[in-house]
């Protein structure tokens, strides 16, 4: 805790300005600007391939932006001399595929970075780890290996692993997309309680009910742009842009299949 610098007053938790990212000739992010305040919960929604993951991964520089700036608290992540390892400690990240370390037990998954990166004493690391396992309801599995856990349990452990670093903000990239439907609830419940505790969270998700209930703000992305953003209830309940409307229509009514879309899909598959 004492190693974490106090953010300058008035600074944003995340500040993204004119961010662009290309993979070769494929421009995936086209001029994104977005600010996220401390304690805010923001859900990013949008169709597949719209650049949601890429945007999230540019925040902790898992992807290097082509241009633009990203600030996390007072630190410019995109500065060439930025100490990324130091900045990343303060940004938790939860992946769709959990990415727990399979050769380590649950407890070791939570302590390894505390000990090696934060240089905490082993006893302190274990105490912090146990506290966070308790938070996600996984205390009973501290000696298990990830392979012995269900997907939902693995994702809760992954969240606890991030929390053990005592991050200032957390990024979630479709944390429930790889889960069987009956396991989604337990992970969302953990995330909801985190939101209630005041954690700053940016969540890429397809769970509209969750977004509507938990998010302070919803950002809709399409084709590398932010098309629309605002209060969760407004964006999901009363979208203004046509692209948002048709996306939400498809997501919220998966059984209603548009005849035009079927024809389009058939043309694509035969092409």
Footprint of ligand ATP (CB under 6 A)? 23, 26, 28, 46, 48-54
Closest CA to 216 of 43, 34, 33: 43
On whether the CB atoms of residues 206 and 216 are closer than 8 A, the answer is no
53 contributes a contact to Mg ion by CB under 5 A: yes
On whether the CB atoms of residues 251 and 206 are closer than 8 A, the answer is yes
Minimum distance of other proteins from residue 87's CB (angstroms): 8
Length of the chain: 271
Q: Residue 208 contacts by C-beta under 8 Å, 6 or more apart in sequence?
A: 45, 236, 248, 251, 252
On whether the CB atoms of residues 254 and 247 are closer than 8 A, the answer is no
On whether the CB atoms of residues 160 and 136 are closer than 8 A, the answer is yes
Closest CA to 13 of 39, 45, 31: 39
Binds 49: which of other proteins, ligand ATP, Mg ion, none (CB < 5-8 Å by kind): ligand ATP
Q: Which two structure tokens, joined as six digits, stand for 127?
A: 């105490």
52 contributes a contact to other proteins by CB under 8 A: no
Q: Which CB atom, from 8 or from 271, has the smaller least distance to ligand ATP?
A: 271
Q: Which listed residue (43, 95, 190, 222) binds other proteins by CB under 8 A?
A: 95
Segment 222 to 241, residues that bind Mg ion, using CB under 5 A? none
Burial of 234 (0-12, 13-18, 19+ CB in 10 A): middle
122 contributes a contact to other proteins by CB under 8 A: no
Query: Pattern 167-206, binding to Mg ion, x per CB under 5 A?
Result: ----------------------------------------
Segment 194 to 233, residues that bind other proteins, using CB under 8 A? none
Binds 165: which of Mg ion, other proteins, ligand ATP, none (CB < 5-8 Å by kind): other proteins
125 contributes a contact to other proteins by CB under 8 A: no
The H-or-E segment that residue 172 falls in is: strand 169-173
Q: Which CB atom, from 23 or from 67, has the smaller least distance to ligand ATP?
A: 23
Minimum distance of ligand ATP from residue 141's CB (angstroms): 29
Helices 106-116/122-135 angle, 10° precision: 130
Q: Distance between CA atoms of 94 and 101, rounded to whole angstroms?
A: 13
Given the rule CB under 8 A, which of 17-25, 90-98, 192-200, 215-223 is the region that contacts other proteins? Answer: 90-98
Segment 137 to 196, residues that bind other proteins, using CB under 8 A? 147, 158, 161-162, 165
Q: Which CB atom, from 55 or from 165, has the smaller least distance to other proteins?
A: 165
CA angle at 40 for the pair 36 and 46, rounded to the nearest 5°? 70
62 contributes a contact to other proteins by CB under 8 A: yes
3-state SS, residue 35: strand
Site residues (CB under 5 A) for Mg ion? 53
Site residues (CB under 8 A) for other proteins? 60, 62, 85-86, 88-89, 91-93, 95, 97, 99-103, 112-113, 116-118, 147, 158, 161-162, 165
């Amino acid at each position: 805790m004492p190693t974490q610098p106090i953010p300058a007053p008035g600074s944003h938790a995340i500040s993204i300005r004119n961010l662009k990212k290309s993979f070769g000739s494929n421009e995936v992010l086209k001029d994104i600007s977005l600010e996220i305040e401390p304690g805010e919960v923001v859900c990013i929604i949008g169709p597949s391939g719209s650049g949601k993951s890429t945007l999230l991964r540019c925040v902790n520089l898992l992807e290097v932006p082509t241009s633009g700036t990203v600030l996390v608290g007072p630190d410019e992540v995109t500065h060439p001399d930025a100490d990324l390892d130091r900045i990343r400690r303060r940004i938790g990240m939860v992946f769709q595929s959990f990415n727990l370390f399979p050769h380590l037990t649950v407890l070791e998954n939570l302590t390894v970075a505390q000990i090696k990166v934060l240089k905490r004493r082993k006893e302190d690391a274990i105490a912090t780890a146990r506290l966070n396992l308790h938070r996600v309801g996984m205390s009973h599995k501290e000696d298990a290996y990830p392979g012995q856990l269900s997907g939902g349990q693995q994702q809760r452990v992954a969240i606890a692993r991030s929390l053990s670093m005592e991050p200032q903000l957390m990024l979630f990239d479709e944390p429930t997309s790889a889960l069987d439907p009956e396991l989604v609830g337990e992970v969302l419940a953990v995330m909801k309680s985190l939101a209630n505790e005041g954690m700053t969270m940016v969540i890429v998700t397809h769970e509209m009910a969750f977004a509507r209930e938990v998010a302070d703000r919803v950002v809709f992305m399409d084709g590398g742009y932010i098309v629309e953003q605002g209060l969760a209830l407004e964006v999901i309940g009363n979208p203004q842009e046509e692209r948002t409307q048709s996306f939400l229509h498809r997501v919220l009514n998966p059984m209603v299949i548009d005849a035009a879309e079927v024809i389009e899909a058939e043309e694509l598959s035969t092409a």
